[in-house]
Each structure stands twice: as C-alpha cells, then as structure tokens.
C-alpha cells in the first residue's frame, strides 16, 4: 500500500453558534492524484454543492476517515478552565482522531492544519495525547488545507458535517439562525433577539464576546 497520509483539519472554530468539527482523512499516495483530478482543495474555495459532491467521493476513496464534534458547552468549559483553551481542546480532538485511525495501518504521515500561532508548542501538547507515536510522522503547518490534498479532503469533510449540524439547528430554530458566524448579519440579528431566550439550549458559545454583548443588550432593554 505504501505510505499513508492522514490529513486533519477543522471547521467551525470561530462561530458563536453550533459545534466545531474536526475531520481526519486517511488516503494513499495514489489517492492524492485522484483527489487532485477531482478538484479537491480547501473547502472555503468551493461552492456548497461542489463541496457536498466531493465529500461523497472522498468518503468512497479514503482508506478511512473520522469525525469529532465539540459542542458549545464543551468549548465553553475549556475556555473557562484556567488550564485549558480552544487550542488545547483542538489538540485533544486531533489526538482522538489519530488514536482511532492509528490501528494496523503501518507507517502514517500525519499532516495537520495547525490552529495555533506557535506550531511547535502546540505539536508538543498534541504528542502528549497520542497513545502510540512509534509509526507516525507528524507535520503541523499553517495553511496545510491549501498545500496538502489530504488536509483539503479533511477540510471538506469537516465543513460538510458542520453544515449538516447547522441544517439541524435551522430546522429547529428557523433559517434566521444563519451560518452561526459573527460576520453573518442573520446570525447577529438572531443573537440580538434570542441570546436570552435560548441561552440554555446549548447552541451558543457563551464565552464568545458576541454572545455576551447580545445577552447584556437584551437585559438592558428589559430594564427599560
């Protein structure tokens, strides 16, 4: 089978609504060529329709893949913890993916789109969470989703799952919830109306300044 490449990337790290998703996609060197021909690239550069079509093909071509979700309550717990933060949570989730996949495949080159400014420091934290490092080569880079097709494939899978999770929320709360990102006017309007009403539903990252301001704004309006 030759060298296997495990690409890992996240989707939904920054939104105020919904989960953060990490995906790991294990492919062969030969599969890289096929995925490139299909047009696999950073998920942010693809239309939703194209992304979903590619996500289906990636699942067929990959040797295996894994997905992990971090819901808002888990994210808030790590940010509120003096000994943790979002980068550490992402290291934990990345290690979960590696530990699930790293069973009987032999030598694996792991390429990760690093979430931290300090690459080596984050990589050291990650290594403490991995059960067996003996057959792994670990590469952490910025913009790995643009430079490595395995990571591009992982970014597509992660984005696809993130969108499905948001679709579930839209079914429950209406399309007004938007994308969940703070740059989305629909999401901000939804927050300004519902930060208090749905504060215990587990959909908001309440450690985000955007949610706090919306929640405080609703409280002030109630006073007057």
For residue 176, pLDDT over 80 is answered with: yes
For residue 220, pLDDT over 70 is answered with: no
pLDDT of residue 224: 47
Q: How many residues does the chain have?
A: 224
For residue 45, pLDDT over 90 is answered with: no
What residues contact 185, with CB distance under 8 A and at least 6 apart?
178
Quickly state the pLDDT bin for 1 (edges 50, 70, 90). low
- The count of domains in the chain is 2
User: Which residue, among 149, 160, 163, 144, has the nearest Cα to 62 in the 3D structure?
Assistant: 149
Residues 63 and 136 both lie in one domain: yes
Residues 121 and 56 both lie in one domain: yes
For residue 223, pLDDT over 70 is answered with: no
Share of the chain above pLDDT 90, in %: 90
Residues 71 and 139 both lie in one domain: yes
Share of the chain above pLDDT 70, in %: 96
User: Which residue, among 65, 20, 30, has the nearest Cα to 181 in the 3D structure?
Assistant: 20
Structural domain of 57: 4-169
Residues 122 and 149 both lie in one domain: yes
């Amino acid at each position: 089978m030759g060298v296997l490449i495990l690409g890992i990337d996240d989707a939904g790290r920054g939104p105020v609504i919904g989960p953060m998703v990490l995906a790991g996609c294990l492919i062969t060197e030969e599969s890289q060529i096929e995925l490139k021909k299909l047009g696999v690239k950073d998920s942010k550069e693809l239309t939703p329709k194209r992304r979903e079509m590619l996500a289906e093909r990636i699942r067929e071509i990959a040797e295996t893949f894994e997905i992990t979700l971090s819901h808002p309550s888990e994210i808030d717990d790590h940010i509120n913890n003096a000994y943790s933060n979002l980068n550490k949570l992402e290291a934990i989730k990345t290690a979960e993916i590696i530990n699930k996949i790293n069973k009987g495949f032999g030598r694996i080159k792991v390429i990760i789109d690093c979430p931290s400014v300090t690459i080596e420091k984050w990589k050291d934290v990650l290594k403490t969470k991995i059960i067996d490092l003996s057959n792994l080569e670990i590469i952490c880079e910025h913009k790995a989703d643009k430079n490595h097709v395995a990571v591009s494939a992982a970014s597509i899978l992660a984005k696809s799952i993130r969108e499905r999770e948001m679709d579930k929320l839209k079914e429950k709360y209406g399309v007004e919830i938007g994308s969940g990102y703070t740059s989305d006017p629909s999401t901000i309007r939804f927050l300004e109306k519902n930060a208090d009403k749905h504060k215990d539903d587990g959909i908001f990252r309440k450690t985000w300044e955007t949610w706090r301001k919306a929640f405080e704004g609703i409280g002030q309006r109630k006073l007057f």
